[in-house]
Amino acid sequence: MPLIRAGTVVLGGRACRPGWVQIAGAQILACGDGAPPGQPDRDFPDCLVVPGFVDMHVHGGGGASYLDAERIGEAAAFHRRHGTTTTLASLVTAAPGPLIAGVRALADATRSGTIAGIHLEGPWLSTARCGAHDPAQMRDPEPAEIDEVLAAGEGTIRMVTLAPERPGSSEAIRRFTDAGVVVAVGHTDATYERTHQAIALGATVGTHLFNAMPPLHHRAPGPALALLEHPDVIVELIPDGVHVHPAAVHAVVRAAGPDRVAVITDAIAAAGCDDGAYRLGAVRIDVESGVARVHATSTIAGSTATMDQLFRTVSRLGPDADAALAAAVRMTSTTPARALGLQRVGALRAGYDANLVVLDRELRVAAVMTRGVWR
């Protein structure tokens, strides 16, 4: 039973200095504050140990896309090297045939344990807020297509992003929630009132808050305020310095708290790669200075971020270093796991999967463990 000791381990919402974790097979047997109960097998005296990151919104990385059935494992492995031990693979808007094919490929990857499930970001989105999605393929949610998608997923679809102002969205929300799928509001032009109606019907997540939705206005507060003020809604944030101004990130975390903020990468295949030309589904993407945009436009097209990079950013929010570390763990692991209803991930706790990340003094990944195996 491997025993790990580290200079700092985040356990139970606090930074323990030192701390330890004991592993039995694929699970955590025990963990605690202070000296370990025996001679450690691995000692990281100058490092921080946190739960493996949970990325609930990511399209690819390392040059590979989750849209490419042959390269799903490659994309997941890239992000695992950056500390993401639980991945919800996202599909963009597509025509019915490619959508079903993408769902089936990712369903196979879910059953093999490569990813934790599927996020459908579209096609039931607003053409006015299409972002990097193909507006020509956006459509209203029809019951027949929803049933076909759910059948293809065979229980592996965990989240769907939709625009609640589209005709048929109310019934779609009910259908998805009845099937155990988390419904997120995003890529939407919905009013404040219509967003609240969607929440009342069962929507519980706000997809990349502020992005691909109307800006907050004092006479038309729109979806952002509705999502922020509801205590049962978890909002995604991309704190990469491109999608959301750092001051807005601070404000959201202060207002909603780390138990209602899920940090996501929204990364595309270009993450970890050089600048150049890429694709997100059918849409051409240009990456310049690490920023992805729709070809020949100013529209942001996902990110090139990794979860360790974003952890470094949010771990510095606030004057109390230990409190900031604990909050960062919640936003990058605990809260997204809870948003998706994932069991036994998102924390270092007895009985949970042995998924953890070792970070050095600069909070860069030194080692990653997934289900008890060092990667």
State the binding site for Zn(2+).
121, 187, 208
Q: Which of 55, 240, 266, 353 does the annotation list as catalytic?
A: 266
- Look at residues 275, 270, 263 and name the one whose alpha carbon lies nearest to residue 303: 270
Binding residues for substrate: 132, 211-212, 219, 243, 300-302
Binding residues: 121, 132, 187, 208, 211-212, 219, 243, 300-302
The verdict on whether 266 is a catalytic residue reads yes
- Please tell me the distance from the alpha carbon of residue 209 to that of residue 68, in angstroms, as a whole number: 27
Q: Six-digit token pair at 164? A: 């609640």
Name residue 309's amino acid: Q
Catalytic residues: 266
